[in-house]
Amino acid sequence: MKIGRRSFLSFLLGGAAGTALSPLPWKMIDDSSIWTQMWPWTPVPEDGEASYVNSACTLCPGGCGITVRKIDNRAVKIEGMKGNPVNNGGLCILGLSGLQLLYGPTRVQTPLKRVGKRGQGRWEKISWKDALSEVAEILGDLREKGQSHTVGLISGSDRGTVHRLFERFLTAYGSPNLICTPSIIDSYEFTLHLMQGVQALPGFDFENADFILSFGSGIVDGWGSPVRMFRANSAWRDTGAKVIQIEPRLSNTAAKSDKWIPINPGTETALALGIAHVIIKESLYDAEFINNYSEGFEDWKRFVLGEYGPDSVATITRIDSTTIITLARSFGRASKPLAICGRGQGTTPGSLNECAAVHALNALVGNINKKGGIFAVAEPDYINWPEIEMDATAAAGMQKDRLDGAGSKKYPFSRYLMNRLPKAVNSGEKYPLKTLFVAGANPLYTMPDSRTVKKAFDKVPFVVSFSSYMDETAQNADLILPNHAYLERYEDIPTPAGMPKPVIGLSKPVVEPLFNTKHTGDVIISLAKALGGTIGNAFVWDSYDACLKETLGYKWQVMVEKGFWSYPDFFVQIHEESFDTVSGKFEFICKETGFMPQFKPVKIEGDKTNYPLLLIPYDSIRLANGVIGDPPFVMKSVDDTVLKGTDVFIELNPKTAREHGLREGQLAMLSTPVGQAKVKVHLFDGIMPGLVALPRGLGHTAYDEYLAGKGINFNELIGPVEDSVSGLDAAWGIRVKLAKA
Amino acid sequence: MSALDDNDKEITKNAGSDGVATSSTEIDKKEQDNRSAGPIILFFVIGLFASLILGWIIFPKLLYSKKKQPIDFNHVLHMAEVDNGCESCHFFREDGTYSGVPKLEQCIDCHEEIQGESPDEIKFVEEYVSKGREVPWLIYSRQPDCVFFSHVAHVKVAGMDCVTCHGHIGESERLKIYEENRITGYSRDIWGKSIGGFKKNTWDRMKMDDCAECHRKNTANIERTGIKTPTNRLIDHLVDVVSPGTSISDKGSSVQTEKDACFVCHK
């Protein structure tokens, strides 16, 4: 039989008919549609039991309460905790993205020991036992040689039990060099100490204020406790409260305010004093408070009336004198006015004069420790541990001067001066720093003048990082002892930034630790026990969790359930009892030190001829610029007028751009006395001519591919400027020159 | 289609020439035609049968891979031990969500240690219980991820029986072989054992048509009072989706998914 064309076609035909009568095509259509709708490579969330865990966020000093939704053992969503006194259900973009930090690829999964050169990224996994005995051996050696004071520790926060364990450890060991990451809170604490004689945190009653005079504070850009500030800002729209934003750049806060007053940067103190001048001159101040509860007013009044008339202030600040007068009148006449300071997110302490001048405005209108005003909030006093017994070595070590000069003759009232540390290490004048621990901080990224900081780190023979993530500092450490990530550990968070009432948040484990990590508190306790003697004796607890539980006592159970402890019986002292100064009153001129708020321009680096422009940083809620870097979700939200690909944009007034012959999107070389960087130009009418603005939070070299290598780290371009009174970093900008690249 | 036309013509021609006296040349031609018509029909039939065999018998064998469950679980044995039927192990959580296949946590109460001599139990205790590993059960009724299905609405609200959808699994002594669709990765039980999609029992298939079948039937029986229970509303939606225009209900959102139309059941 010959198979011809016809037979073959017939065969196909039969095949087609049979196929149509079989389920094959219909089933294939169905299956392929299911396949295309549910690509097998798309992750499908596991099904399981839903549960919620109340905890507190520790990604910034805001201390928001969080409620984490879990499916079985996996955390799937972070929400703001309803009913929490700080954020009541709200949460910021960084807090919402926190799971990417927990489950992301940047976690340090086990103790690591450096094998290559520093920063080369070559590590060897070691056991906790080996890691701890190595550290204990080095610490033991230094102590034996009488060099216990050459051990330093940089901590991210100066409150809470973990910080207190560090303090206790170093005291028992014999080193005064415990240093904390600075912020505007330090300047406020200093101000409260000088003017009110108290050791307290500033608390702002934004919810009840009706006129907010902000000297560059990024109310909706991440200042204070960010979510609380968003809510307050929204509430002001309903209550009709007025917000006046004073800063040289049209930030989001300025755009949302009732009035934006651009100011010659660095002259905010002069403006505050100019406002004080008008208030005093026109008798708009709270005479009852001034007469009964203040001291030194007459002298300061004479000084302010003499020096800061609206016309001279107008020349300094480049703000119209009528604007100054109107502003002063509306501030003085408002029923609950509140003046605040701290540029952007308040991550730099700024000049003490500025903080004190702004605080003096609050005093003038008598809203100290009053509804709608500023409170001096004493730290909740729940950490009551037994006295430390110090041996001779510890006592000798503690007698040594601090490397950063805090508490010295020059800066007797400062507690920590981190900005002075790199210089002290590099000069080696006092004594060398032989071992440095870094916990909850990322100084190699966050400290100004990165190059000098790096040089100082290179001089320290042994650097230990406690970071949960492979950040810049961890990358340059000799040993990483990874802490549990923030959703895996217990930690107390006393009084979030700017809260007018004491609150203790409890951060608690939402999930079991994913990796071979250890709580830093436990590491400290183990090290103390390994060193033994009086050091070991100072740590009576078996573990950090036991220590925290014991410390919190009866509060523990409530905090575990609710996630926070608030003080229902908190009341504000009456004015007669709330000032602990020499005079027992609010002191416009500090009797103890003679300090009074006045305008002394901060001498920023660079000369006008070589560096004709001024570079200022700006903060955004979408760019985390502290110890934590932006997780991928947050990175996605950054505008392409801020970052495009790996290029960061500077903001430039079109007029200034014309003078420099620069167009939108053009590449330019930015040089400051500290460093230089290639940037792109973005023309922006919202920035004063002669200024250049660069966002903070970019230019990471560590973390993941979504963050590393994008943009420029502002800290590479600026150096610290020491405040003459506090010693804290007062730099608000730096001179800069711009050239076509 | 010209090939088909040619065939038709020739077949007609052949039929027309039957019983009619023809010349020798015509006979030759007829013989020639007969000779070619036979194989053509034969090939058509071969093609037809080959593809039918392929579609009905070979295709399902190729489409599904066979997998054994990690442990051969005996439902009968366990049903005798519990008081609350299926819900003793396949329970509803306090928030109304359905727990599905039991986790180790539930088994561990009795199976902390080996009790019998069944090799499967020994394997279960040694490999899973003592190592704290969850058993990677293969789930016959797992719907695609895009499907939203609420057990509580069906079992608790509508009072349905597990058997209606899942069959008499509770009476089985062994777990059947799990057949996984190589294309979609889902179990064969969703489409049903019959590749043609035919079914005898309500539990034979679990496709959308099968949901709709039951929902349509029950809608007719429900007396409309104007008050919408969650189930009622869900049914209306489903009917509306499957046969638009037949439902007399207004559109509203689903109580559970808070969505409309397709999105009541589909994510």
Contact partners, residue A498, CB within 8 Å, separation at least 6: A202, A203, A204, A206, A223, A224, A225, A228, A229
A-chain CB neighbours of B44 within 8 Å are 10-11, 13-14, 17
Contact partners, residue A341, CB within 8 Å, separation at least 6: A184, A214, A215, A216, A217, A268, A350, A354, A355, A358
Burial letters for A670-679: b for 16+ Cβ neighbours within 10 Å, e otherwise?
A: bbbbbbbbeb
Three-state helix/strand/coil letters over A453-501 = HHHHHHHCCEEEECCCECCHHHHCCCEECCCCCCCCCCEEEECCCECCC
- Minimal CA separation from B253 to chain A, in Å: 24
Q: Which long-range contacts (CB under 8 A, 24 or more apart) does B201-208 make?
A: B201/B167, B202/B164, B202/B165, B203/B163, B203/B164, B203/B165, B203/B166, B203/B167, B204/B167, B206/B141, B206/B143, B206/B165, B208/B242, B208/B265
- Averaged pLDDT score across all residues of chain A: 94
pLDDT at position B224 over 50: no
List residues of chain A with CB under 8 Å from any CB of chain B: 1-4, 6-19, 21-24, 26-28, 30-32, 34-35, 37-38, 40, 44, 47, 49-50
Identify which of B6, B155, B15 has the alpha carbon closest to the alpha carbon of residue B87: B155
Per residue in A213-240, pLDDT (tens digit) is 999 999 999 999 999 999 999 999 999 9
Q: In one letter, which amino acid is A347?
A: T
A-chain CB neighbours of B145 within 8 Å are 38, 44
Distance CA B135, CA B140 (A): 15
Give pLDDT, residue B221: 52
Rounded (5°) CA angle A628-A633-A636: 105
Distance CA A352, CA A411 (A): 12
Torsion of CA A149, A152, A158, A160, to 10 degrees: -90
Distance CA A181, CA A346 (A): 12
pLDDT at position B23 over 80: no
Identify which of A662, A661, A624, A620 has the alpha carbon closest to the alpha carbon of residue A639: A620
Q: Which residues pair with A565 in a beta bridge?
A: A504
Q: Report the percentage of chain B scoring pLDDT > 90.
A: 48
CA A137 from centroid of its chain's CA atoms: 34
Helix (H, G, I), strand (E, B) or coil at A572: coil
- Averaged pLDDT score across all residues of chain B: 80
Residues A10, B181: C-beta atoms closer than 8 Å: no
Identify which of A738, A730, A698 has the alpha carbon closest to the alpha carbon of residue A715: A698
Per residue in B4-14, pLDDT (tens digit) is 444 444 444 44
- Minimal CA separation from B31 to chain A, in Å: 15
A-chain CB neighbours of B51 within 8 Å are 14-19, 22, 24
Per residue in A309-341, pLDDT (tens digit) is 999 999 999 999 999 999 999 999 999 999 999
Query: If you average pLDDT over residues A13-39, what whole number do you get?
Result: 92
Distance CA A489, CA A718 (A): 35
Give pLDDT, residue A137: 97
B-chain CB neighbours of A6 within 8 Å are 3, 6-7, 36, 40
Distance CA A584, CA A625 (A): 40
List residues of chain B with CB under 8 Å from any CB of chain A: 3-4, 6-7, 36, 39-52, 54-56, 59, 63, 93, 95, 97, 99-100, 144-146, 181, 183-186, 191, 195-197
The ranges assigned to domains in chain B are 2-65
Identify which of A736, A475, A474 has the alpha carbon closest to the alpha carbon of residue A617: A736
Q: How confident is the model at residue B18 (pLDDT cuts 50, 70, 90)?
A: very low
Distance CA A180, CA A171 (A): 15
Distance CA A17, CA A19 (A): 5
Distance CA A715, CA A627 (A): 13
Q: Is A569 exposed, middle or buried (0-12, 13-18, 19+ CB in 10 A)?
A: exposed
C-alpha dihedral sign at A648, A654, A660, A664: positive
Distance CA A481, CA A19 (A): 65
pTM of the shown model:
0.86
Q: Is A130 exposed, middle or buried (0-12, 13-18, 19+ CB in 10 A)?
A: exposed
Of the partner residues B46, B54, B196, the one whose CB lies closest to the CB of residue A11: B46
Contact A182, A448 (CB under 8 A): no
Distance CA A274, CA A358 (A): 11
A-chain CB neighbours of B151 within 8 Å are none
pLDDT at position A720 over 60: yes
Give pLDDT, residue B260: 63
> End-to-end CA distance of chain B, in Å?
44
Q: In Å, how far are A24, A391, B80, B107, B170 from B85, measured between CA atoms?
A: 39, 70, 9, 15, 8
Q: Tell me which residue has tokens 């600026």.
A: A718
Contact A614, A427 (CB under 8 A): no
Nearest-by-CA chain B residue for A3? B39
Give pLDDT, residue B10: 47
Q: How many CB atoms lie within 10 A of CB B162?
A: 18
pLDDT at position B261 over 90: no
Residues A37, B146: C-beta atoms closer than 8 Å: yes
Contact partners, residue B94, CB within 8 Å, separation at least 6: none
Nearest-by-CA chain A residue for B37? A7
Q: Report the percentage of chain B scoring pLDDT > 70.
A: 73
Query: If you average pLDDT over residues A542-552, what whole number do you get?
Result: 96
Q: What is the CA radius of gyration of chain A?
A: 29
Distance CA A205, CA A369 (A): 9
- The DSSP code sequence of A679-715 is EEEEE-TTB-TTEEEEESS--BSSS-TTTBTSS--GG
Q: In one letter, which amino acid is A10?
A: S
Residues B183, A7: C-beta atoms closer than 8 Å: no
Q: Report the percentage of chain A scoring pLDDT > 70.
A: 100
pLDDT at position A539 over 80: yes
The pair of structure tokens assigned to B28 is 């030759």
pLDDT at position B228 over 70: no
The pair of structure tokens assigned to B75 is 């439902």
Rounded (5°) CA angle A55-A57-A63: 105
Distance CA B50, CA A622 (A): 64
A vs B, Cβ pairs < 8 A, gives 114
Region of A395 (left: φ > 0; alpha: ψ -120 to 50; beta: rest) is alpha
pLDDT at position A558 over 50: yes
Which range is least confidently modeled, A447-461, A520-534, B154-168?
B154-168
Q: Which residues pair with A614 in a beta bridge?
A: A691, A735
CA B192 from centroid of its chain's CA atoms: 3
pLDDT at position B19 over 80: no
Query: A23: which DSSP letter?
Result: S
Choose, out of A3, A5, A6, the residue to mutate when testing the contact with B (most B CBs < 10 Å).
A6
Distance CA B261, CA B238 (A): 8
Per residue in A69-117, pLDDT (tens digit) is 999 999 999 999 999 999 999 999 999 999 999 999 999 999 999 999 9
Residues A34, B39: C-beta atoms closer than 8 Å: no
Which range is least confidently modeled, A255-259, A296-300, A652-656, B230-234?
B230-234
Give pLDDT, residue A78: 97
B-chain CB neighbours of A3 within 8 Å are 39, 43
Nearest-by-CA chain B residue for A13? B44
pLDDT at position B258 over 70: no
Give pLDDT, residue A576: 82
Of the partner residues B50, B185, B195, the one whose CB lies closest to the CB of residue A15: B50
Residues A14, B46: C-beta atoms closer than 8 Å: yes
The pair of structure tokens assigned to A561 is 């359930």
Query: If you average pLDDT over residues A11-17, what whole number do you get?
Result: 93
Residues recorded for chain B:
267
Nearest-by-CA chain B residue for A28? B183
Choose, out of B49, B181, B183, B193, the residue to mutate when testing the contact with A (most A CBs < 10 Å).
B183
Per residue in A199-217, pLDDT (tens digit) is 999 999 999 999 999 999 9
Q: Report the percentage of chain A scoring pLDDT > 90.
A: 92
Distance CA B256, CA B60 (A): 36
